[in-house]
Amino acid sequence: MTTQVILVMNHNQDPLDELTTALARNGYEVRLADSLAQSHRLTGETRPDVVLLNPLALCENGVELELLERLQEEDDPIPVILLADDLAALADARNLQVPFRDFVLKPCSPTECVHRVELALQTRVRIRGLQSRARQLESQVSVDFKTGLTSELYMKKIMGLEWKRAQRHQNPLSLLLIDVDNFKGVNDTTEYAFGDEVLRRVADALKGNVRETDFAARFGGDEFCVLLPQTSPAEAVQTALRIRQRICGMTVHSANYERKVTVSIGVDSYDGRKASSVDQLRRNANRALHEAKRRGKNQVWLYSGSEPGGSEPGGAERGGAERGGSEPAIRVDEGGSAPGSEAIQDA
């Protein structure tokens, strides 16, 4: 079992030797920071399981609050135990919305602090368990609550049914995998709420660019997919280019942030010859997506039958120029048509 890390931010530099000794004696790995600089360094090295904060000067927009807020993650909050001088200091901390979950009045009893740490760790385990269960329940519903698109689990059921239908009637079936470019950077430099707004705007663009007979879903954090029944590879690429063009002209605004958004899209189609299963269809589209990412992002790539170590997927880039690789690729000019495309009537 991994030793749990307790970070003691002793910015006020009180004598806490008895406290740190008691924590170590109870099996915790104690990391002591006597300054903000040390706290920054230690949090950069290891994410602690609990923080004990003996603040220097808690104030709105202060560096101590910023440091605590940076440690928190939406699905894995870190408990913070505040060492407060008195009840007045505790009230001030509450007014500042310090992200602490418990407090101990000074002078601190080592035994009480150890007990508070144990309770904080138990609470963290319960929170993580509840959030894990919430994610499981979320995946069991048909609609993704953040975007209003089809949920991942329900989409997998749809893909299985549409795959069997395509095989039975020998109809084409196409899949687009769509990934928001540099989304991690958005979350790292803004707020989770802003990242959620980016996802919602991308979802809205998908809804506005697919037919009623198509299926759009959110797959994972920043990945989406669109399943296109009775759609040839050429028609699927045209849909993907339309989606890419719609999103690349989009800017997401909030009170504090503004970001331009682009997506990379990988495409594969079942035509009775290539993909042997719905999982293979998804793997092929994922290979094309990775190629779009590798080639600079904000692009559409169509899988052309190459395997790892072989020729590259064929591409339909922004201007539609065919990329390298020995396998044929569908050349697409945005706003035009793809050679070899067939007119498929909706069933």
Domains, the chain: 5-137 (3.40.50.2300), 141-316 (3.30.70.270)
* Span 310-320, average pLDDT: 47
Measured CA to CA, the distance from residue 99 to residue 96 in angstroms comes to 9
**pLDDT classification of 8: cutoffs 50, 70, 90:** very high
The torsion angles phi and psi of 280, rounded to 5 degrees, stand at -65, -40
Which is higher by pLDDT, 275 or 68? 68
Q: Which residues contact 79 (CB under 8 A, 6 or more apart)?
A: 50, 51, 100, 101, 102, 120, 121, 123, 124
pLDDT tens per residue across span 27-85: 999 999 999 999 999 998 989 999 999 998 877 778 888 888 888 887 788 999 999 88
Give the active site residue among 214, 222, 271, 279.
Answer: 222
Q: Is 222 a catalytic residue?
A: yes
* Span 219-234, average pLDDT: 92
Instruction: Fill in the DSSP letter of residue 313.
Output: P
Tell whether the model's pLDDT for residue 142 goes beyond 90: no
pLDDT tens per residue across span 153-185: 889 999 999 999 998 888 999 999 999 998 888
